[in-house]
Chain A
């Protein structure tokens, strides 16, 4: 991504995030949950971006394993780190919503538990990359593919198993007034994700340059 494109996207994302609170405040209250349901406008889009990021990491890892592309490995690592970041946000904002809506911070139900497991898989990926030693990149790539394969199960868990979490029907059936801020926030978070991914991949690119330079100095 060129500096110009990055700057334009960053300005656009900043403008969208400045405007988002006005849309969220103007959105109607939900009849059973009231004010606390407003967490939905950040929680759900960030959850969707977490799924997107897990797919990016899984697909890039597959390309690295079978195509041996170093750039794919860098993308996989960057996306895995962002999956952990967005997953952490989902796992923190969810219980804050649940405390009011369900009366408890946490339920060991299918959606919450599978989301936690998925987050732990990508955390394991990062720990493998950091402490696994030589060859851990290929082992970690397998973990990322497994993590990405887990994502659809996390998404569908609310429909298949009995759970207290809102079902996947909520987003497609959102009524006017709720629909606009939700999709607006989703686009803003996708933009933020693209920017963070570009930044993180830039860091890995510079690290690769440093490694090459080190090898040159070793002769």
Chain B
């Protein structure tokens, strides 16, 4: 019972933390966080151009793009690794139980 309560508290803290991250991000955003500072970002359709527009601020786009693409692959690889790890655990348990069944034993 105590363990379940501790888990419940842990889950509640996790959910609070997840909700707090975007809220904190908005609070720490630059001037006038309630409205976007740039209103020229395309919404209706994307217009292609040959050259990069002249830089208007100091926010580093290459770093943001690299972080986005990097995060995608880190998330996917961590997920694949977690499946492999869980599968290995299940296979090990399957072998152990199979051996018990083959030897005619009963688990307690």
Contacts and interface: CB of A to CB of B under 8 A. Distances in A.
A63 interface: no
B71 A173 contact: no
Nearest to A85: B79
Contacts of B106: 217-219
Contacts of A207: 90
A43 interface: yes
A32 B68 contact: no
Given A42-B69, A96-B67, A31 B91 contact: no
B17 interface: no
Contacts of B76: 85, 89, 192, 196
Given A30-B49, A34-B61, A131-B7, A97 B97 contact: no
Contacts of B100: 217
Contacts, number: 187
Interface string A79-110: 00000010011001101110111111111100
Contact of A42 (B30, B52, B68): B68
A28 B52 CA distance: 9
Given A33-B42, A101-B38, A103-B29, A43 B68 contact: yes
Interface stretch (A52-60, A145-153, A162-170): A162-170
Most buried by B among A95, A97, A104, A107: A104
Given A33-B41, A192-B76, A214-B107, A206 B68 contact: no
A139 to B, nearest CB: 15
A96 B53 contact: no
Size bracket, chain B contacts: 35 or more
Given A29-B52, A42-B72, A213-B97, A96 B47 contact: no
Given A164-B36, A196-B80, A95 B48 contact: no
Contact of B53 (A29, A43, A103, A177): A29
Contacts of A27: 48
Contacts of A96: 64-65, 67-68, 71
| SS of A interface (majority) | helix
Contacts of B105: 217
Contact of B94 (A42, A170, A209): A209
Nearest to B10: A131
Contact of A178 (B48, B86, B91): B48
Contacts of B83: 196, 199-200, 203
Contact of B30 (A34, A103, A214): A103
12 contacts: A27-B48, A29-B49, A29-B53, A35-B62, A35-B65, A92-B71, A96-B64, A99-B59, A103-B38, A164-B41, A174-B46, A177-B48
Give the 3 A-B residue pairs with the shortest CB-CB distance, closest first.
Answer: A103-B37, A28-B48, A102-B36
Interface of A: 27-40, 42-43, 46, 85, 88-89, 92-93, 95-97, 99-108, 116, 120, 123, 127, 131, 164-167, 169-170, 173-175, 177-178, 192, 196, 199-200, 202-203, 206-207, 209-210, 213-214, 216-219
